[in-house]
Structure 1
Amino acid sequence: MIFVENQGITDPHLNLALEEYIVRNFSAENDYLLFYINEPSIIIGKNQITIEEVNQDYIDNNNIHVVRRVSGGGAVYHDFGNLNFSFITNHDITQMHNFKKFTEPVIKVLNDLGLDAELKGRNDILVGEKKISGTAQFSTGKRMISHGTLLYNTDLGEVANALNVKPSKLESKGHKSVRSRVANISEFLKEPLSIEEFRALLLKGLFSESEDFETYRLTDEEWKAVHKLKEEKYDTWKWNYGRAPKFNIQNNKRFSVGEIDVRIFVEKGLIKEVNIFGDFFGRDSVEELEKLLIGIPYDKPSIEKALKDVDVNNYFGAFEKEELVDLIINF
């Protein structure tokens, strides 16, 4: 595995562009590790409705970035006390939605630092009942990203201030607030460390079996391409906020794979527009699924027929097709 140096960049738009550039353009002969720290920002999951996830007045008044990532899952808050890691590897269908392989080496380093950390739930690393990390994945079909956040010394008060957390998510966690169930890694350390020192220890631990690991620095031409991707995608309103549908039917429910929220616009009995949102993880884009439903009658037999040959696991993870049909038609 090769470590990619990001030159200390803290712009979340540029860091997410760099991550996508690596997965789409770097050699498939190697695996890569990327670390980055972002300025105060909210990172939105690919399938979420931005305006329903953020406290817009608060983030406007406090100059907090809002950027959508390419992976699924829920919205997260980043600041200078949050260290982000990203493994870029060849696509492996057995590892999609399986976060154990990619969190194990991180958890081992945390354990070596004295934390009783373990992977729990879908994709979280916890110490006791406190969440210190969340992870997500994205696949191009050939290469994949498995990335996560590490709450090291984050301003946890800002998590609740900047995020407009849905009641359904609070209920599913069985807690009164997000703040009550998250914690910083620094709280559990016996000796205080700066985030830079923690980053160095984590990097050393992840490469403990390689005495002389390789560090890669992008060329000027590669950086030029990363900046171009940032400007054309990650800086745009269309990417970060654009998915805000017209609808007259909304059905949502929390499943084991996460929350699924279906917005449908029906006119004269036919589905004219459909959008599927949520914090689920999937290999394929739900936009492919949405297209299959456009123009058909809004009834159960028509929806079942349209989805007859679809493997919904590719879009949501381990999930039954019947559950999706019932959600769409609200049975």
Structure 2
Amino acid sequence: MMTMTTPATSNAYYYISPSTDPYYNIALEDYLYRQLRPLDTIYMLWVNRPSVFMGRYQWAEAELDLDYLEEHDIALLRRTSGGGTVYHDLGNLNFTAIKNDHSGQGFDLKAFPTPIQRALAGRGVVVERSPRGDLRLDGYKVGGAAEAVNRSRMLYHICLLFDANLEELERILTVSPEVEARSRVASVRSQVTNLRPALPDGYTITDLQEDILAALREEHTGLFPLEFNASVEEYIRTQRAEHFEHADWIHSPIGRAKTPTI
């Protein structure tokens, strides 16, 4: 079994989203990143209904089957971060880490997924970070990560394949090579697998959330839940309508889509 220890440092905050609406969750993540700068470290755990998230610089037609998404009412979103296209459903757990850098030394990307690695190691499952930054189980991809940075504040998120519909994932993210070649930032295709078969019987996505929170408590002096007021809900409603659900953001030519300012 792999063991990792990290000295406890500073306070941090976390939020487990009760919603499975992908537009709500991405707007909430945006709020944590852009509006809560005084909080140096924030974590978010969230699960979405079936949806597809593109990277900031990708072109939808080159990454997925748009007709299939429309026929099956699968949401399409564009992230503010870079990286490739990923499929979400109720069998995926999304982990977000938002941190400020006061040192001027930049961020250690290898450190961001370590709470996940420690949580899984505690259940006898060893996952390794590949040179590309994703997480691998026995060589198969189980988590794809992406990040964004603005004024010494980083947004890092990773989509973990816990018990996702891998057939649906493959169906949606398969396009012809001729079309894919036209993408400015094409996704790197990898063989994938779910974490669930490697974990103990009866282990749930909620158990994984709790194990990740336990690993985070080892990293911080204090880990506190966030509570929100009505103004946050108003921010989410505005951002999802004017930005994340808006066709100009999802389908705009690369580089021309408007990004919210911090």
1-side partners of 2:218 and 2:60: how far apart?
A: 39
Residue in structure 1 matched with residue 14 of structure 2 by the alignment:
3
Mapped to 2, the partners of 1:48 and 1:158 lie a distance apart of 20
Q: What does residue 226 of structure 1 align with?
A: 236
What code does the residue aligned with 1:226 have? I
Q: CA deviation at 1:233?
A: 0.2
Q: TM-score, normalised by structure 2?
A: 0.83
Residue from 80, 92, 99 that aligns with 1:70? 80
Q: Distance in 1 between the 2:49 and 2:32 partners?
A: 21
Partner of 2:226, secondary structure, is strand
Q: In the alignment, does 2:145 pair up with 1:135?
A: yes
Q: Which residue of 2 aligns with 1:294?
A: none
**Following TM superposition, by how much is the alpha carbon of 1:91 offset from its aligned partner in structure 2, in angstroms?**
4.3
1:126 is aligned to 2:136: yes
Alignment pair present for 1:239 and 2:249? yes
Larger radius of gyration: 1
2:59 aligned to 42, 49, 53, which one?
Answer: 49
Give 3-state SS (helix, strand or coil) of 1:217's partner.
coil
Mapped to 2, the partners of 1:197 and 1:5 lie a distance apart of 13
1:197 deviates by 2.1
Shift of 1:76: 0.2
Secondary structure, counterpart of 1:218 in structure 2:
coil
Quick one: distance in 2 between partners of 1:212 and 1:140?
A: 26
> How many pairs does the alignment contain?
237
Instruction: Measure, in 1, the Cα distance between the counterparts of 2:243 and 2:101.
Output: 23
- 1:165 is displaced (CA, Å) by 4.7
Q: Which runs of 4+ in 1 moved over 2 A?
A: 27-30, 91-96, 164-170, 208-213
CA RMSD of aligned residues (A): 2.4
CA drift at 1:185: 0.7
- Specify the alignment match of 1:279 in structure 2: none
Q: Would you say the 8 A contact 1:91–1:139 is kept in 2?
A: no
Runs of at least 5 residues in structure 1 that lack an aligned partner in the other structure: 171-176, 244-274, 276-285, 288-331
* Identity across matched positions, percent: 28
Comparing 200-209 with 121-130, greater Cα deviation is found at: 200-209
Q: Choose the corresponding residue for 2:34, options 13, 24, 49.
A: 24
| Aligned residue identity for 1:153 | D
**Match for residue 197 of structure 1 among 192, 207, 210:** 207
Residues 3, 33 of structure 1: 8 Å contact kept: yes
Q: More helix by proportion, 1 or 2?
A: 1
**Offset at residue 166 of structure 1 (A):** 6.3
The structure-2 alpha-carbon separation of the partners of 1:133 and 1:165, relative to structure 1 and needing over 3 Å to count, comes to: farther
Q: Distance in 1 between matches of 2:80 and 2:157?
A: 11
Q: Secondary structure at the match of 2:112?
A: helix
Q: How many angstroms apart in 2 are the aligned matches of 1:166 and 1:74? A: 17
Task: Give the letter for the 2:14 counterpart.
Answer: F
Whole-angstrom CA distance in 2 between matches of 1:90 and 1:212: 17
Structure with the larger RCO, 1 or 2 (CA within 8 Å, 6+ apart): 2
Once residues 188 and 144 of structure 1 are traced to their aligned partners in structure 2, the CA distance between those partners, rounded to angstroms, is 31
Q: Deviations over 1:50-92 (max 9, x none)?
A: 1221101211111110000000010000000000010111147
